[in-house]
Structure 1
Amino acid sequence: MELKGKRIGIIGLGKRTGVVSAKVLVKMGAQVVVSDVKPAHKLKEELDLLRGISGISYDLGGHTEKVLDVDLILVSPGVPLEIPILKEAKKRGIEVIGEIELSYRLSKAPFIAITGTNGKTTTTSLLGQLLKTYPHRVFVGGNIGRPLIGEILNLKPNDLVVAEVSSFQLETVKEFHPEIALFLNFTQDHLDRHKSIEAYLKAKMNIFKNQTEEDYIILNADDQTLCKIASEVPSKIIWFSRQKKRLPGMYLDGNMMVCHMSEKPEELLLIDELKIRGDHNVENALAASAAAVLKGISLSDIRESLRNFKGQEHTLEYVLTHRGVQYYNDSKATNPDASMKALTAFHEPVVLIAGGLDRKLDFTEFIKLVVKKVKALILIGETREKLKKLALEYGFSGRIEITEELKEAVQLAQKFSEPGDVVLLSPACASWDMFESYAERGCLFKEYVRSL
């Protein structure tokens, strides 16, 4: 893809995607127009990172005609595609793509792409570990926090990209064509952005829309939605399952992970040997292992990596034990299904800290599980009153407290817990009503816990 002399608009100046993309595009000889609804004084940190770089002009405090005088627009994943400036761009025939699509077009290396409502980051990180014996370089990035565009030009044809891709990123793909795709699961999420569950699924399905019969997709055989859409998949399907044997694939036989992707089944690992907790992490391990097998990694090497993998920060992350109470940070649980998976990972009594941004999700099944599993419920964020009302409607008999501060929530959790209990931050909601990100929320939780 030749970008020298092209005018490229960037809509959304985030520190990760926007800033890094601007630097790379200028380096490739493009003239860049950066546009953001925020005024300059609210983008000081981002602008400081671009200071002194020639070839960049700015359109800040709102999108104007200036950002439409371009050959191509690169839109950050957090920017909705329905905003007026992007509608006008499409009317004028200006191509609008995202960083994942641009990175794919620029890459000489093939892609493995991972999506799903939950488990993407853990599976992406785990797959990176499983591929440590791959004979060429493996770059792990994407929605996991490392922009692909910052490294993609340094990769060679024999190298490999392992990319976590979100529905926001998949909305803007056109040519994106991973040789292996992993679709882990599908439940309601991001309905504030996609408006309907059907639109959300359609975005997710873009992960395989350009695949051919030469490619592979790894699907969850226990997910009804994914089983239904399997007939629309053009590539070869590898299944993974905790509940059934569906071939070719990875499955559980009792507590044993089994690989049956060729002529005969082979035992891989007892799930008790995994350091990551929960049934959902068994699924993540099965899916990642299937992808590693497809890339020629031996079962013995996969086995060793699975035994040593400790998980991701903010995903059922063990913090410490204080006065006989274990504290876990699951701040990345930004939807009800993710928090349900976390709750089922514990047999101990749970004091749960939940709540956050109200994205109009259905919390019914989550609350039903809370009633069964949780001894005390501490609620924060925009959804706190909604969750309290729902919990009482479904007969929650434990202690319920509402607070506006995470620090106080941690203090209340300590007050309500006893030796042998677990205090779990698993919000079931996004963080943006109170925090910059789920990572900030999780880091503050750990700070407050350590100060008890």
Structure 2
Amino acid sequence: MKQLKQVYQKKILVLGLAKSGFTAARILHKLGAFVTVNDSKPFEESPEAQELLNLGVTVICGRHPQGLLEEGFELVVKNPGIPYSNILIQAALEKEIPVWTEIELAYLISEAPFIGITGSNGKTTTTTLLFHMLNQDEKKPLIAGNIGTVASGVAEKAKTDNVIVTELSSFQLKGTYQFRPHIAILTNLYEAHLDYHGTVEDYTASKFNISRNQTETDYFIYNADQPVVADHAATCKAQLVPFTLKGKTDTSISADDKWIYCQGEPLIERSKILLAGLHNLENIMAATAAALLWGGTKETIIRVLTSFTGVKHRSQFIVNWKGRKFYNDSKATNALATKSALEAFPSNIVLLAGGLERNHSLEELRPYMNRVKTLITFGETADRFSEFARNCGVESIAKVSTMDEAVENAINHSASGDTILLSPACASWDQYESFEIRGDAFINAVQKMTEANE
């Protein structure tokens, strides 16, 4: 871990604990900073706060004192989820105190270079794919960031022969100043998180921070099929590496209906790739480009693409049983995500959907409901989903109460050649504590039902 003169013996406020705040506070203390942690959770309910206090960190829990910024802090490191409308963040910005997310800290202390991945969709799949490609080629990758592993904790232990493959959200990137990945990836860009950013412009600018500090010795991999992304790429100083779904090109990574190409040469037939859908094709091309830039081999890339079944709960392939392919897309908690899943399969879908009623529109699904052979629906939205599907012309509809019933009905309503897809288009909280638990229930039900019917 590099030492940082800019934090040594400086007064630093870490706002919000959780995983990233706790790790950042611990590292800053280790680097010789005078750290104060402020978190809304009561001290007695926060083992993280208790551990930091034992280390000698000043801890203020259960409240956010309005005059806290009057104590001479020279830097604020905030949890990415805390909005910039927060009164303490606003006060810091008015005083021209830098406000970091821990990604900035991770970059500054790391002995290893970074590959940064962002985008409105596909970050996790691209990050995971790239990690597997580099790992199988023995490139010593480490995985970090929004994917669940705190980047500064990974960077603390990274060596010069590692590379940190990092998933980055707009929330994290907004709080960066010097962060400069050697390879940056922007998978795509759609309107999102306006409740946090306030405007499309702020959201877009935060995403573009991933390439802001790159130079001509770095690489920017981007979706050339999106004009807003291509326009940004034209302003970048890094070497540009576009990818496109609009047919074979003689440069970079491209795809047509049958093949993925590298520099115009066939790389792999699309039919041999386990990940389904155009959205995953974007992720595949981005990860492939980065792997090749880092010295990965085409043989390894092909091996990964013909074996990788997907990130758990994100269009994850489960099993091919008696000609029926089962996919777990429990992460699809809104109609846009389920639309992407339906796009991946041309016909004969048995769709399992439903969940928490938040009165979100289902209309984005309408153009793809003709691909749905049968709808199995559950949860608070079951009746509304059934009515919507019926209005779209779906005649075979079953309403169930449990995941076991859903899978049993799906099997009974399906035949060889069908796709059985859990893609709920709704949050899980009416029946499950998380989409992960819902997805695990589906996997368990599939295993139980298929084994019982062998």
What TM-score bracket applies, with the shorter chain setting the length? 0.7 to 0.9
Which among 11, 23, 33 is matched to residue 20 of structure 1?
A: 23
Alpha-carbon shift at residue 197 of structure 1 (Å): 3.5
Provide Cα deviations, 1:142-183, integer angstroms capped at 9, x if missing partner.
111111111212223343111110111112122111121111
Q: 1:174 is matched with which residue? A: 177
Q: Secondary structure at the match of 1:90?
A: helix
Which among 227, 250, 257 is matched to residue 260 of structure 2?
A: 257
Aligned in 2, Cα 1:388/1:183: closer, same or farther, shift over 3 Å?
A: farther
8 Å Cα contact 1:11/1:74 also seen in 2: yes
Aligned in 2, Cα 1:21/1:433: closer, same or farther, shift over 3 Å?
A: farther
Q: 1:352 is matched with which residue? A: 352
Which among 439, 443, 454 is matched to residue 442 of structure 1?
A: 439
Q: Distance in 2 between the 1:364 and 1:184 partners? A: 25
Aligned in 2, Cα 1:191/1:246: closer, same or farther, shift over 3 Å?
A: farther
Q: 1:291 is matched with which residue? A: 290
Q: Distance in 1 between the 2:384 and 2:13 partners? A: 41
Within 5 Å, give how 1:22-421 maps onto structure 2. Answer: 22-40=25-43, 43-44=45-46, 46-47=48-49, 50=51, 53-65=54-66, 67-68=68-69, 69=71, 70-132=73-135, 137-246=140-249, 248-260=251-263, 265-319=264-318, 326-346=325-345, 347-356=347-356, 358=358, 363-370=362-369, 372-373=371-372, 375-376=374-375, 378=377, 380=379, 397-399=395-397, 401=399, 408=402, 411-412=405-406, 414-415=408-409, 417=411, 418-420=413-415, 421=418
Q: Does 1:8 align with 2:12?
A: yes
Alpha-carbon shift at residue 85 of structure 1 (Å): 1.5
Alpha-carbon shift at residue 115 of structure 1 (Å): 0.9
Q: Secondary structure at the match of 1:310?
A: coil
Code of the aligned partner of 1:353? A
Provide Cα deviations, 1:410-439, integer angstroms capped at 9, x if missing partner.
534533652335443323455578766543
Count of paired positions: 439
Alpha-carbon shift at residue 251 of structure 1 (Å): 1.3
Q: Distance in 2 between the 1:205 and 1:385 partners? A: 42
Aligned in 2, Cα 1:224/1:387: closer, same or farther, shift over 3 Å?
A: farther
8 Å Cα contact 2:372/2:394 also seen in 1: no
Q: 2:452 is matched with which residue? A: none
Provide Cα deviations, 1:223-270, integer angstroms capped at 9, x if missing partner.
34323433333322212122223453111254222100xxxx332222
Alpha-carbon shift at residue 141 of structure 1 (Å): 0.9
Q: Distance in 2 between the 1:64 and 1:121 partners? A: 37
Larger mean CA deviation between 105-114 and 130-139 belongs to 130-139
Q: Distance in 2 between the 1:9 and 1:57 partners? A: 10
Q: Secondary structure at the match of 1:131?
A: helix
8 Å Cα contact 2:355/2:379 also seen in 1: yes
Alpha-carbon shift at residue 118 of structure 1 (Å): 1.5
Provide Cα deviations, 1:383-412, integer angstroms capped at 9, x if missing partner.
7787667656656555375x8xxx635534
Q: Distance in 1 between the 2:429 and 2:14 partners? A: 23
8 Å Cα contact 1:352/1:374 also seen in 2: no
Alpha-carbon shift at residue 112 of structure 1 (Å): 1.0
Aligned in 2, Cα 1:329/1:133: closer, same or farther, shift over 3 Å?
A: closer
Code of the aligned partner of 1:216? Y
TM-score (ref. length: structure 1): 0.84
Code of the aligned partner of 1:143? N
Aligned in 2, Cα 1:146/1:432: closer, same or farther, shift over 3 Å?
A: farther
Alpha-carbon shift at residue 283 of structure 1 (Å): 2.2
User: Kindly, what percent of the aligned residue pairs are identical?
Assistant: 34
Q: CA RMSD in A?
A: 3.2
Larger mean CA deviation between 110-119 and 20-29 belongs to 20-29
Q: Secondary structure at the match of 1:290?
A: helix
Structure 1: stretches of 5+ with no match in the other structure: none
8 Å Cα contact 1:33/1:67 also seen in 2: no
Alpha-carbon shift at residue 307 of structure 1 (Å): 2.8
Q: Distance in 1 between the 2:405 and 2:196 partners? A: 34
Aligned in 2, Cα 1:137/1:19: closer, same or farther, shift over 3 Å?
A: same
Alpha-carbon shift at residue 114 of structure 1 (Å): 0.7
Structure 2: stretches of 5+ with no match in the other structure: 450-454
Q: Does 1:426 align with 2:429?
A: no
Provide Cα deviations, 1:350-408, integer angstroms capped at 9, x if missing partner.
222145585x9765323432354352152546x7787667656656555375x8xxx63
8 Å Cα contact 2:276/2:344 also seen in 1: yes
Alpha-carbon shift at residue 289 of structure 1 (Å): 0.9
Q: Secondary structure at the match of 2:402?
A: helix
Q: Distance in 2 between the 1:320 and 1:135 partners? A: 29
TM-score (ref. length: structure 2): 0.84
Larger mean CA deviation between 179-188 and 231-240 belongs to 231-240
Alpha-carbon shift at residue 124 of structure 1 (Å): 0.6
Alpha-carbon shift at residue 212 of structure 1 (Å): 2.4
